[in-house]
Chains A and B, each alone.
Chain A
Amino acid sequence: MIVQLLISSLVTGSIYALIALAMAIIYKASEIPNFAQGEMAMVSTYITFVLLSTFGFPFLTALVLTLTFAFLLGILFEFLLIRRAKEPNLLGFIIITLGFQLLLFGLAGWKWGSDQRTFTLPFSESEVVVRTSSFVLTEHNLASLIIAMVIMVILYLILNHTKLGLAMRACQQNVGAAMFNGIPANRILGITFGISSIVGAIAGILVAPITTLDPTMMWDPLVKGFAAAVLGSMKSLPGVVIGGLLLGLIENLFGFYVSLEFKSIVAFGVIMLILFIKPSGLFAKHYIRKV
């Protein structure tokens, strides 16, 4: 049983980690908590659905098109809304992201209705890859783990081994200094929103088969992802991944040993606990500046 618990923890944890990563990439770059992240992912997931079921595209084509859509959605969000804010403060940004969330939610409800649909992917939750006496590993489990891992590795490579990544990290640390070194900070922030939106969209596509496809599908995962990010520290990407996995584990253990009904409340408990103990998150770097 413990193996089964670990598998579920890893799977949900990886999805939380993806959502947390999506939020943290933006937060690190701009200190904006993007509350529209979930709805951006939801709309992207609907795009995949439409491409698959209405247009009958093969899965890979649909995926590539969706991710392109997600990237553009992120870039447009930054360009059309975030960038327009004059001397914005945190409250202003929160209102913009909440407004965008409502807009997307409304659009999705109008276009696709609120009736729930089932979303089938090439990797299904009901197909079993490995079955032993102690655990079952489904296709969806395995695919989620692999995809989350691949995304994390790609993100790591982009950030640490490309010129774009260097510019992103420079902007995260000191936008002014990035600018007078010739980095077009606005454009980099736009690309950051685009990348974040892609990561969110992948989380959405992984979430849909285990819940149902409807406009509220990301509400719960977003809160969990946010909790994971706060747990690990919004400012540390590895921290955020560990936060996601940790939350997945805590949640599943709680659900199994304590109460399945109140499983959802664990994320809230974790946020509160962290705010009491270490508000900057478990893996926040406390940087000591030398004079």
Chain B
Amino acid sequence: MLLEIKNIETFYDKIKILNGISFSLEEGKVTAIIGNNGAGKTTMLNTIMGLIDDQPEKGKITFRNKPIQLVDTDKIVKMGIAYVPEGREVFEELTVKENLLVGAYIRKDRKGIQSDLVKMLEYFPALKSRLNQLAGTLSGGEQQMLAIARALMSDPTLVILDEPSLGLSPLLVQEIFKIIREINRDGKTILLVEQNANMAIEVSDQVYIMENGKFVLNGPADEIKDNEDVREFYLGLKEVDSLKGYQRYKRRRTWR
């Protein structure tokens, strides 16, 4: 397993957000985590990246069998994990090119960096004419592409993306997911967090479903796609009837 998480608990102040989560990620695959707003998905990713001080409170996180909990974020990045955060967080007052170079900060191989720059412009031709433009002046979709390209510039093994489709037009969402597939085909392992369950299940091999800081279900994408509860609560495929509240209650019990 490339990334393994065992029983982690993360707190914000005294509030427990992650409630003993376990999870493992296979190399070369696309794994999706879906879950409603506030379920704790971003908190989990921030915990993996070491971005929350002194967290996780409990549990173990290993990357290639090396423990990474409580390790400095920059060292985690050096081990081969790249992060595309929710809301892009591009450096608005740096140019597009400078943003990409920040992504390559951990690298010393000039030639590799140059050829990856070229590769990014092949993935994202929209950035080509904007290399010297400040990132803050890009559109939302372009900023998302830049955030993904910036992450790839570190030449990571694992790319973690947090809701890359957030706030984008359907056409752009299609495009982003197509590129995620491509990146995976080019050899990167991908951990994808999404609220857009349809698309996420579509592109992924494995799916985890998170509710209230816990995984309630996981499995191969095609199995998850056919799960009754998922169809109703996440894919919106089942008709709503007057018994919904009751069914919901019953259903939920089936996966706990």
Q: Which residues of A pack against B, CB within 8 Å?
A: 87, 163, 166-167, 169-170, 173-174, 176-185, 285, 287, 289-291
Q: How long is the Cα–Cα vector from A291 to B139 in the complex, in angstroms?
A: 6
Contact residue among A170, A184, A290 (Cβ-Cβ distance under 8 Å from B102): A170
Chain A residues lying within 8 Å of B91, measured Cβ to Cβ, are: 169-170, 173-174, 177
Check A181 against B150 for contact (C-beta < 8 Å): yes
Check A290 against B138 for contact (C-beta < 8 Å): yes
Chain B residues lying within 8 Å of A182, measured Cβ to Cβ, are: 74, 77-78, 105-106, 154
Check A178 against B102 for contact (C-beta < 8 Å): yes
7 nearest CB pairs, A to B: A182-B77, A182-B106, A179-B73, A180-B83, A177-B89, A184-B74, A182-B105
Which residue from chain A places its CB closest to the CB of B147 in the assembled complex? A177
Check A290 against B137 for contact (C-beta < 8 Å): yes
Q: Does B32 contact A (CB under 8 A)?
A: no
Tell me the chain B residues, 60-75 only, with Cβ under 8 Å from chain A. 72-74
Tell me the chain B residues, 74-94 only, with Cβ under 8 Å from chain A. 74, 77-78, 82-83, 85, 89-94
- Taking the nearest CB of chain B, how far is it from the CB of A231, in angstroms? 21
Check B103 against A181 for contact (C-beta < 8 Å): yes
- Taking the nearest CB of chain B, how far is it from the CB of A189, in angstroms? 13
- Taking the nearest CB of chain A, how far is it from the CB of B79, in angstroms? 10
Which residue from chain A places its CB closest to the CB of B108 in the assembled complex? A163
Check B92 against A181 for contact (C-beta < 8 Å): no
- Taking the nearest CB of chain B, how far is it from the CB of A290, in angstroms? 6
Q: List 15 A-B contacts (CB under 8 A).
A: A163-B101, A163-B105, A166-B102, A167-B105, A173-B91, A173-B92, A173-B93, A176-B89, A177-B90, A177-B91, A180-B49, A181-B106, A182-B106, A289-B92, A290-B140
Check B136 against A183 for contact (C-beta < 8 Å): no
Which residue from chain B places its CB closest to the CB of A169 in the assembled complex? B94
Contact residue among A180, A287, A291 (Cβ-Cβ distance under 8 Å from B73): A180
Q: Does B57 contact A (CB under 8 A)?
A: no
Size bracket of the B interface = 20 to 34
Chain A residues lying within 8 Å of B101, measured Cβ to Cβ, are: 163, 166
Which residue from chain B places its CB closest to the CB of A285 in the assembled complex? B93
Check B105 against A183 for contact (C-beta < 8 Å): yes
Question: Looking at chain B's contact residues, is the secondary structure mostly helix, strand, loop, or mixed?
Answer: loop
- Taking the nearest CB of chain A, how far is it from the CB of B116, in angstroms? 14
Q: Does B39 contact A (CB under 8 A)?
A: no
Check A184 against B89 for contact (C-beta < 8 Å): no
Q: How long is the Cα–Cα vector from A163 to B106 in the complex, in angstroms?
A: 11
Q: Does B183 contact A (CB under 8 A)?
A: no
Chain B residues lying within 8 Å of A287, measured Cβ to Cβ, are: 92-93, 136
Q: Does B25 contact A (CB under 8 A)?
A: no
Which residue from chain B places its CB closest to the CB of A180 in the assembled complex? B83
Q: Does B98 contact A (CB under 8 A)?
A: yes
Q: How long is the Cα–Cα vector from A289 to B92 in the complex, in angstroms?
A: 8
Chain A residues lying within 8 Å of B138, measured Cβ to Cβ, are: 290
Chain B residues lying within 8 Å of A173, measured Cβ to Cβ, are: 91-94
Interface centre among A87, A182, A289, A291 (most CB of B within 10 A): A182
Q: How long is the Cα–Cα vector from A177 to B139 in the complex, in angstroms?
A: 19
Q: A166-B102, A181-B154 are in contact. List 9 more A-B contacts (CB 8 A).
A: A167-B105, A170-B91, A170-B105, A174-B91, A177-B85, A184-B72, A185-B74, A285-B93, A291-B140
Check B51 against A180 for contact (C-beta < 8 Å): yes
Check A181 against B139 for contact (C-beta < 8 Å): no
Q: How long is the Cα–Cα vector from A169 to B89 in the complex, in angstroms?
A: 14
Which residue from chain B places its CB closest to the CB of A177 in the assembled complex? B89
Chain A residues lying within 8 Å of B137, measured Cβ to Cβ, are: 290
